[in-house]
């Protein structure tokens, strides 16, 4: 470089020397540099132009180096590799070549990373399609280690979901088989079927079962009501079916609430095979079934309700409908007799309890009210009779004690035999504690009765008040008995 500058300087010196010899005589006093300034200006402009060109080239190269360096920094960060700061180079092209070389190395690493990312994405596509039966919408692909990590995490999540789905598959198939048995369906389902098919079958059967359970429940309620009116007992078979209204579900959460099933559920419910359609199709097939289910068989004593235990089949529903139809016809035929029998039973009970006659209409509601009233009185009849017997026993004892006091006041009794006198003495000792014991037992039984059935009423009066009034104010001990009233017990004597 110095040599080149020396050459320029030498040439400029020669030019100056030559120009010094070319000054006219009238200008000889002028400095050659000034006199020939136009020539020197041309030289200066040329050099400046060359400087500009070189400066522009330098700036472009610096910019390229900066761009490559920035790209390397970004890629290094994405690849999780350490970026080494580039040292200053005296030659920009040398720096540029170095940076290009480093960038190429990183591009190779990027390609390898992209291949790995593509591999995991392809795995995700397969898994997602197996689980949801729809294409996977991949998020914007980025060539970075973080993106690879997230893709791997997504793949693991899908694997877990698939595992859960597989578990659900076995659970649902087990449930479906049980529901098929209850519905008496013959269509086949396999563990190799797609999850979407199994889910569809599951929802079809659970929807149908819920509908049929509700239908059977309503039929049984009507049947039990009519059987109660007719005093028949076949409904006992219904009442023992505790698991009638139970449809098992896959473990943990209800499948409708499980996130894994949402895509297929939405797809299922958006199509025509919705619950209403399932029920409509099922209803269309629910026609008269077989001559085996005639009224004679339905009403036969040999025909057991337990044959259909936990069943939701067409045959069972058909049986229940025919059973209800028969009971309704029987009820219409026997209405007068049923009403009369129940009215007579109630009348006897009301007489027993000392109550007024009650009247009920001759219809379903009236007969049910009759039965409920009879049931209510029957429940407390035994306790009522027990208390009534104690009251009668007390009354008889009081009568005996009154008679004894009359005899004891007669002077002639002293002339009776010693045997008779001994009997009277024994009665005197026995009567007092026996009366107290009976009265205490009556109070205890009445209190128990009141807690269970309400106030104990006898002859239209609250009896606990009656017995309290009778006891208050009387004089009684082991030797003396003076009643508060003048033989009030005769007035209270039962018919």
| CA–CA gap between residue 60 and residue 66 (Å, rounded) | 10
Confidence of residue 64 (pLDDT cuts 50, 70, 90): very high
Residue 405 has pLDDT above 90, yes or no: no
Residue 172: name the closest of 251, 284, 105, 93 by CA.
251
Q: What does the CA dihedral 253, 259, 263, 266 come to, rounded to 10 degrees?
A: 60
Strand partners, 476: 481
pTM: 0.43
Q: Is the dihedral of CA 315, 321, 322, 323 positive or negative?
A: positive
pLDDT at 266: 40
Q: How far is CA 233 from the centre of its chain?
A: 36
pLDDT at 252: 42
- Judging by DSSP bridges, how do beta strands 457-458 and 461-462 pair with one another? antiparallel
326 vs 478 pLDDT, higher one? 326
113 vs 133 pLDDT, higher one? 113
pLDDT at 13: 86
Question: 131 with 262: CB under 8 angstroms?
Answer: no
pLDDT at 232: 62
Where along the chain do its domains lie? 2-93, 191-350, 378-492
Q: How far is CA 190 from the centre of its chain?
A: 28
Q: At what angle do helices 418-453 and 463-471 cross, to 10 degrees?
A: 140
| CA–CA gap between residue 485 and residue 250 (Å, rounded) | 78
Burial class (CB in 10 A: 0-12, 13-18, 19+), 149: exposed
Residue 312 CB contacts under 8 Å (≥ 6 apart), including other chains: 179, 182, 183, 208, 209, 212, 213, 216
Residue 331, CA distances (Å) to 62, 141, 186, 221 in order: 107, 76, 38, 16
Tokens standing for residue 32 = 């050659």
Q: Model confidence over 477-487: pLDDT tens digits?
A: 655 555 554 44
| CA–CA gap between residue 57 and residue 71 (Å, rounded) | 21
- With pLDDT > 70 as the criterion, what percentage of the chain qualifies? 74
Residue 244: name the closest of 227, 258, 224 by CA.
224
Question: 424 with 407: CB under 8 angstroms?
Answer: yes
Tokens standing for residue 143 = 């060539």
Cβ-based neighbour number of residue 226 at 10 Å: 20
- Please list the alpha-helical segments (H only) found in 302-363: 314-353
Helix (H) or strand (E) holding 304: none
Residue 303: name the closest of 326, 284, 328, 281 by CA.
326
Please give the radius of gyration of the chain, using alpha carbons only, rounded to the nearest integer: 56
Residue 488 has pLDDT above 90, yes or no: no
| CA–CA gap between residue 100 and residue 94 (Å, rounded) | 10
Residue 155: name the closest of 116, 134, 113, 125 by CA.
125
Residue 278 has pLDDT above 90, yes or no: no
Residue-averaged pLDDT of the chain: 76
Q: With DSSP H G I counted as helix, E B as strand and the rest as coil, what are the percentages for the chain, rounded to 5?
A: 75, 0, 25
Topology given in CATH for the domain delimited by 378-492:
Methane Monooxygenase Hydroxylase; Chain G, domain 1 (1.20.58)
Question: 314 with 212: CB under 8 angstroms?
Answer: no
Confidence of residue 273 (pLDDT cuts 50, 70, 90): very low
Strand partners, 461: 458
Q: Model confidence over 342-369: pLDDT tens digits?
A: 899 999 998 888 888 899 998 888 888 9
Q: Model confidence over 116-159: pLDDT tens digits?
A: 999 999 999 888 887 777 777 777 888 888 888 999 999 999 99
| CA–CA gap between residue 285 and residue 104 (Å, rounded) | 72
Residue 309 has pLDDT above 70, yes or no: no
């Amino acid at each position: 470089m110095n040599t080149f500058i020396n050459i320029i300087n030498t040439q400029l010196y020669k030019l100056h020397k030559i120009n010094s010899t070319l000054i006219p005589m009238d200008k000889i006093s002028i400095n050659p540099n000034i006199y020939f300034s136009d020539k020197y200006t041309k030289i200066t402009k040329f050099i400046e132009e060359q400087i500009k060109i070189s400066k522009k080239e330098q700036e472009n190269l610096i910019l390229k180096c900066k761009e490559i360096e920035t790209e390397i920094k970004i890629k290094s960060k994405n690849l999780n590799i350490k970026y080494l700061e580039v040292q200053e180079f005296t030659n920009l092209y040398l720096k540029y070549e170095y940076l290009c070389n480093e960038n190429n190395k990183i591009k190779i690493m990027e390609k390898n990373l992209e291949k790995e990312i593509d591999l995991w994405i392809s795995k995700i596509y397969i898994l997602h399609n197996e689980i949801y039966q729809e294409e996977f919408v991949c998020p914007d692909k980025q060539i970075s280690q973080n993106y690879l990590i997230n893709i791997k995490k997504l793949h693991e999540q899908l694997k877990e979901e698939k595992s859960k789905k597989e578990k659900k598959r076995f659970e649902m198939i087990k449930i479906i088989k049980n529901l098929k048995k209850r519905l008496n369906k013959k269509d086949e389902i396999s563990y190799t079927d797609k999850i979407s098919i199994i889910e569809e079958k599951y929802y079809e059967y659970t929807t149908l079962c819920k509908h049929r359970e509700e239908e059977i429940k309503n039929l049984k309620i009507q049947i039990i009501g009519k059987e109660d009116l007719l005093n028949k007992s076949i409904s006992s078979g219904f009442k023992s079916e505790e698991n009638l209204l139970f449809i098992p579900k896959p473990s943990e959460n209800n499948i409708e609430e499980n996130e894994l099933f949402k895509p297929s559920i939405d797809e299922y419910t958006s199509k025509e095979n919705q619950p209403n359609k399932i029920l409509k199709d099922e209803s269309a097939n629910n026609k008269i079934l077989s001559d085996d289910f005639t009224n004679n068989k339905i009403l036969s004593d040999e025909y057991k309700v337990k044959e259909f235990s936990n069943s939701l089949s067409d045959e069972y529903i058909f049986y229940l409908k025919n059973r209800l139809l028969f009971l309704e016809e029987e009820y219409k035929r026997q209405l007068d007799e049923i009403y009369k029998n129940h009215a007579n039973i109630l009348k006897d009970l009301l007489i027993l309890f000392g109550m007024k006659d009650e009247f009920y209409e001759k219809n379903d509601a009236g007969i049910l009210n009759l039965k409920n009233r009879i049931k209510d009185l029957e429940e407390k009849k035994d306790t009522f009779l027990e208390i009534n017997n104690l009251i009668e026993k007390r009354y008889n004892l009081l009568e005996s004690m009154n008679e004894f006091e009359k005899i004891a006041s007669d002077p002639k009794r002293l002339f009776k035999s010693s045997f008779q006198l001994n009997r009277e003495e024994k009665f005197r000792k026995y009567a007092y504690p026996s009366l107290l014991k009976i009265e205490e037992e009556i109070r205890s039984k009445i209190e128990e009765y009141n807690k269970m059935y309400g106030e104990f009423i006898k002859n239209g009066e609250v009896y606990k008040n009656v017995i309290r009034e009778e006891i208050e104010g009387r004089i009684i001990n082991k030797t003396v008995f003076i009643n508060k009233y003048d033989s009030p017990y005769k007035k209270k004597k039962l018919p």
